[in-house]
Structures are given as structure tokens and as C-alpha cells.
Structure 1
Amino acid sequence: MTKWSIVKRINVYGASSFISLKHLVLAPADLSSNCSFSGLINTGEEDEEELLKKMVKHSESGSNIISKIDYMNLVDKYTRYGNLSAAYDLLQSLQEKNICLPISVSENLLVAAGEQNDWKLSCRIFREILVSAGKPLSSDCYLNLARAFINTDDCTHLSSLLKEISESSLSCRLIVLNRVIFAFAESRQIDKVLVILEQMKEWQCKPDVITYNSVLDILGRAGLVNEMLELFSSMKEDCDVSLNIITYNTVINGMKKACRFDMCLVLYNEMVQCGIEPDLLSYTAVIDSLGRSGNIKEALRLFVEMKKRQIQPSVYVYRALIDCLKKSGDFHRALQLSDELKNTSSLDLAGPQDFKRHLRSHRR
């Protein structure tokens, strides 16, 4: 019996069988040694069978020095040839021997699992990366997890993973759950976003205002205004969640995009009554919606109020008001605003960078 127990596996991408290293890792005596096994490995065209035979032969010769690069090459070969289970098993075996490969190896495996829509393996790999990364995961990790679920309605493994994260001791667990929600929204899996949100209400790590605001934005972008209003109402009933300027701006913009202009003013007035002061995004959305609905008088009133509060109007607000005044036949007032716009320095106008700054602060 050799130091390794050898298991035969069938390569799903070829006709021949090859030798797998599942649970068969030879622990290096000193990974920091200058000695390396790399010279025995052809990292180019050599197939797995020949590669692993060399590794077995080398181990039987009594040497126990194998570099991390060799293991990385082997995991990479498994991943590239589509044998993801063998790659994952090898990584697990290495962890049991306290041999840690760079996190990029697991990230590449997660990419491949997502491409194959292997949601079970994706959940396992994501869990491993989250535990071992020691730093915030990249957005690509979350997106690759979400992509694995595109062609399935089975959320059992996903729910199990997220519940485990919710009950963990991770200080960033709520951030992780919120980023998972955002990733599923980015991949247009809104039904799963709503499932996650509902389940979170029963978990130890419950949704916060950032969670709700993210889902409101997702629903608004998708044009699901009824669902957005329903969620907005449920937020008001949740004693643990305090609505903020981001909440109202998100819903107002969602209503504007859906041409529900009447609701924009209602929400604006409600926000003010709650003691929340409107900002650049609030005024821009409401003034635009009022102008489009033909309520020019109220739009101009808010325009004046905006300037009194020293919130610089944007060129978009000017153009929206000028357009609406022309349509209503008030050419004199439209000309006045047009002259005001021409005489206003571009430095005194809110521009795209101001909207971006507000949006960035809203997402934090």
C-alpha cells in the first residue's frame, strides 16, 4: 500500500479514465523549501493521467516535497476540463492538510461552477471563499454565485447558505446578504430577491433600511411599482426600520419612471411632513414629474424653494421646466427661464457629478 490511495475516475470530457487526487494529498514536509516538484510537471499539453502518474511515482520514491504551484496547476487543469467536483475535492483535501492555495484558485472554480449552472457546488465554493478570504469579496464572486441559479427555481441550497451566513459570527454578515441581493438583481432574478428578503425577516440577521432601499430600487427599475409600493408600506409597519431620504427618493423616482406623477407629489409631501428635508435628487424628480403632469404652478413653486434653500438646480430641471412652459403656452416665462439658464455659470449648476455623488452616498 503506497502513501496515496489511488481512486479511478472517468473524465466526463474524454473517453479515457484518469487518476484523481481526491483525499489523496501528500502533505509537504516544508512548503517553504527551495525544492520543488514543478520540474516533473508539464503545465502545457500533458494530460491528467500522465501528470498524476508522475506525481504518484515521485511520492513512492520517498520524496514528499510538492509545491503549491503544482497543486494550483492540477486544480486549474481539472477546472479547465470541466471536472469541477475533482477540483473541489482536491481543494478540500488540501485544506484538511492545512495547505492553503491562493483565493484566486477558488474564485476561478466559482466562475466555472456558475457557467455550468451548478448551484450546489457554487454554494459550497462561495462558503469556502467567504470563510477563508479574510477580506471583502469582489462583486464578481457574488455575481458568479447568482449566475449559477439563472436556470433553476430551486432555492433550497441558496436559502441554506444564506441562513448559515445570517447565523454566523461574521461581523459583515448583513453586508454579505445585501450584496447577494444586489447580485441577484443584477442578473435579473428579481423573484429570488423577493424570496431572500422574505426569508431574511425570519432569520437572525434581519433586513435593515439598506436592504429595503436596495430592493425598492430593484423593483422600481423593473417597473414593478405595485410591488414597490407594497414593500414601502411594509417598511412603515416595521418598527425596526426607519425610512430615510434614500427611501423616499427611490420610491419617488420609481413612480416618475412609471409615469405615476400624482404619487410623486404625494410622496414628497409625506416626506416633508415626516421631517425629512428634500435634496437635489428629491427636487429634480418631483419638479420634473410635476412639469410632465401639467402642474406648472407647483413645479415653479418648488423650483423657487429649491433655490432659496441654496440647492443648486441642474440643467435638467431648467430644461424640464422650459419644455413644460412651452407646451402650456407660457412662452414668456419659458423665455425668462431660458435667459436665466444662459446667464448662469456652469459652475453654479448641478451637473452629472453632483447626481453621482448623491447616488454614491445613498448606496453606502
Structure 2
Amino acid sequence: KHMVLAPVDLSRSCSLSGMHSSVNTGEEDEQELLKKMVGHSESGSKIISKIDYMDLVEKYTRDGNVSAAYDLLQSLRDKNICLPISVFKNLLAASGEQNDIRLSCRIFRELLVSPGKEPVSSDCYLNLARAFINTDDCMHLMTLLKEISESSLPCRLIVLNRIILALAESRQIDKVLMILQQMKEWECKPDVITYNSVLDILGRAGLVNEMLGVLSSMKEDCNVSVDIITYNTVLNGMRKACRFDMCLVIYNEMVQFGIKPDLLSYTAVIDSLGRSGNIKESLRLFDEMKQRQIRASVYVYRALIDCLKKSGDFQRALQLSDELKNTSSSDLAGPLDFKRHLRSHKH
């Protein structure tokens, strides 16, 4: 069917009536479209609108015949007929839904190298990841990622990091760890953003041991340096997993590396120590926090008050309660303060 397609001529010599007659009205089915194209080819006419081709590709896509749609796109490209990027995006979404890993990788590759300046959207990354949900076969995925790593794309590391995030969003943690391990052997190696992203993924999933393993390998990697985001991510992961015993260890290690704790660090470790019963150390860090003029949040105050009550130290709990009542809202850290810290770390 695809061999009979005539090349498109959108030159000004085409009459408006001729162009209008060649446009699919949406009422013609696949056979009518093909007959029209064959007729144009046999008559030597070059007046075939891109809309006709788009309609046929989209019909294949809607019908679930993604292979035929892709083959048609390839034959059109051989004839120097380029359809809009949206056609490729729709086809990627359809192939992702069908878990067609080979075709999904091919389409994603073409989106990356498309001549347009439009960057690949988040939906495209998610649709690529969706194709691999029901399979452990990562050969096509790893081949694609290695090609990206060895390519001349200026944003190749960003692309790899975004694929990792897309896989994490679809809960494919094993593939994330596999990619991180492989990247160490590739030309485009993981950076601190890659490691911190993986740590955050593992923390959200409650995979504490895996998180500690990634942190350990990160410290051994001479190409990257741990930072405040690294330790805040690990601290929050430990706290969410109720591994309060590890929070103080991670905190002390951070201080030994010369990284000064911030609002996020203090909040995580003070809460963890208080909930583990280490009230003395929790109060010490609370005082240190205030000495460094880092405003505590209402959450920290209430967490400490609850812990003091549980330990039977009602007098100190009452003192903190009075201190909280006498502190104006402007002297307390609020949601915006936490967001500012997150934004500043990202930049």
C-alpha cells in the first residue's frame, strides 16, 4: 500500500480548489483514502495534502495497528514528506499502551533527533516508560540509552535523567537501579542530579538498604560530590521508613563532610530523634538550630512537646508550649520557607 504514495507538492501552482478537493473530510474510510492516493499516483498528479497522510496514519493508530502507522511514516520520510511531531507523539502513546518496546524505542529516538526545536515533552518520557511496565526485557531500552549516552546531543544527560524519573513514576525501580549501574560504564556518566534523583526514588519507595547502597557508591564515585540535597534526601527517606537509628548516623556524617545542616536537615533529624526517644540530642539540635538563627516550624515545636510529654518531662514541655505561643508567625518557618529551600537546592 505504501509503495504507491505520490510525493507531496505544496507549491503555489496548486489551485485552491484542487487542494480543497484533496483534503480528507473525515468521512472517508481507509480504502477511500488509499484509492485517492493511488488515483493521484496513476494520473501523475502531485497534489496530495499532508492532511490525507495524517488521516491515514492516525486511523492506523486509532485502530491499534501501530506497526502499519510507523511503516507509513517511514515511507513518507523516504519521500521527504515530514508530518507534524504530534503524529509521532500520538503513535508513541499508542505503542506504549500496547507495550511495544521495540517500536516505542524507535519512535522516541526519532523524536529526540527531530529537526524541530520543540523539546521532548514529559508525556513522551512517560509513554516510553509505560511500554516496559510488563516486561523484564531491557535490551531495547539499554540499547537506546547507550546510544543517547554516546550521541552528540547537548542535553543527553538530561534526557537520561528524565527517563529515569519516568521509569520511577511508573514504579519500575529495578530498571532505575540497572540504568544507574550501566551509566557508570557509559560515556555519559551519572552526575549528582542522577544520584540524588535515584535516592529520592528509593526513599519514596521505602527501600532503605538500596538507598544506603547508592549513597555508598556515590561517595566512591570520584566524578561526583555529595551535597546538602543528598543528605536531606537520605534523612527524609530514613525518617519515612522509621529508621530513626540511622538518622543521627547520617546527620553526623553530613557534618563531618563539612556540610552545614539547613531547615530541612534539622527538621528531619530532630523529629526522628524525638520519636526514637533520644530527647536530649533532639533538644540539643533544636537549641543549635535557634543559635544559627534558623527558624523552627510549628511542626518541630509540637513534635518536641509531644515527645517531652511522653517522656514525663511536663515542665520542659510546658516551657516549649509557652515559647511557641509567644512566638509570632513571622518568626516561625512555614510552608513557603521549605519550598524556598527546595528551590534554592535545585538551582
Please state if 1:121 is matched with 2:103: yes
Q: Number of aligned pairs? A: 344
Letter in 2 for 1:208: D
Q: How does 1:208-227 map to 2 (within 5 A)?
A: 208-227=191-210
Q: Deviations over 1:11-51 (max 9, x none)?
A: xxxxxxxxx32x54422222565646453454434321122
Counterpart of 2:145?
162
Please state if 1:320 is matched with 2:303: yes
CA contact (8 A) 1:306 1:313 kept: yes
CA contact (8 A) 1:167 1:204 kept: yes
Corresponding residue SS for 2:113: helix
Q: How does 1:1-364 map to 2 (within 5 A)?
A: 20-21=1-2, 23-30=3-10, 35=16, 37=19, 39-132=21-114, 133-363=116-346
Q: Taking every aligned residue pair, what percent have the same amino acid on both sides?
A: 79
CA contact (8 A) 2:92 2:127 kept: yes
For 2:287 and 2:11, locate their aligned partners in 1 and report how far apart those are by CA, in whole Å. Answer: 71
For 2:4 and 2:339, locate their aligned partners in 1 and report how far apart those are by CA, in whole Å. Answer: 53
TM-superposed deviation, 1:353:
2.5
- C-alpha RMSD over aligned residues: 1.8
Q: Deviations over 1:31-72 (max 9, x none)?
A: 565646453454434321122112211332332022222222
Higher helix share: 2
CA contact (8 A) 1:31 1:67 kept: no
Corresponding residue SS for 1:344: coil
Q: Deviations over 1:97-146 (max 9, x none)?
A: 33222211111111000110111100000000111143432111111000
Change (3 A) 1:34 1:354: farther
For 1:39 and 1:343, locate their aligned partners in 2 and report how far apart those are by CA, in whole Å. Answer: 78
For 1:34 and 1:208, locate their aligned partners in 2 and report how far apart those are by CA, in whole Å. Answer: 56
Structure 1 range deviating more: 321-330 or 94-103: 94-103
For 2:213 and 2:117, locate their aligned partners in 1 and report how far apart those are by CA, in whole Å. Answer: 38
For 1:29 and 1:109, locate their aligned partners in 2 and report how far apart those are by CA, in whole Å. Answer: 25
For 2:61 and 2:223, locate their aligned partners in 1 and report how far apart those are by CA, in whole Å. Answer: 45
Letter in 2 for 1:310: Q
TM-score, normalization: structure 2? Answer: 0.94
TM-superposed deviation, 1:200:
0.8
For 2:31 and 2:4, locate their aligned partners in 1 and report how far apart those are by CA, in whole Å. Answer: 15
CA contact (8 A) 1:166 1:173 kept: yes
For 1:248 and 1:190, locate their aligned partners in 2 and report how far apart those are by CA, in whole Å. Answer: 20
For 1:139 and 1:362, locate their aligned partners in 2 and report how far apart those are by CA, in whole Å. Answer: 22
Letter in 2 for 1:173: R
For 1:290 and 1:149, locate their aligned partners in 2 and report how far apart those are by CA, in whole Å. Answer: 41
Q: Deviations over 1:331-360 (max 9, x none)?
A: 222222222223323233222222233334
CA contact (8 A) 2:109 2:144 kept: yes
Corresponding residue SS for 1:95: helix
TM-superposed deviation, 1:270:
1.1
Change (3 A) 1:289 1:259: same
Structure 1 range deviating more: 291-300 or 344-353: 344-353
Letter in 1 for 2:32: E
Change (3 A) 1:281 1:58: same
TM-superposed deviation, 1:361:
4.0
CA contact (8 A) 2:308 2:317 kept: yes
Letter in 2 for 1:261: F
TM-score, normalization: structure 1? Answer: 0.89
TM-superposed deviation, 1:363:
4.4
Change (3 A) 1:31 1:309: farther
Corresponding residue SS for 1:281: helix
TM-superposed deviation, 1:191:
0.7
Letter in 1 for 2:6: L
Letter in 2 for 1:53: K
CA contact (8 A) 2:5 2:37 kept: no
Letter in 2 for 1:119: I
For 2:40 and 2:5, locate their aligned partners in 1 and report how far apart those are by CA, in whole Å. Answer: 13
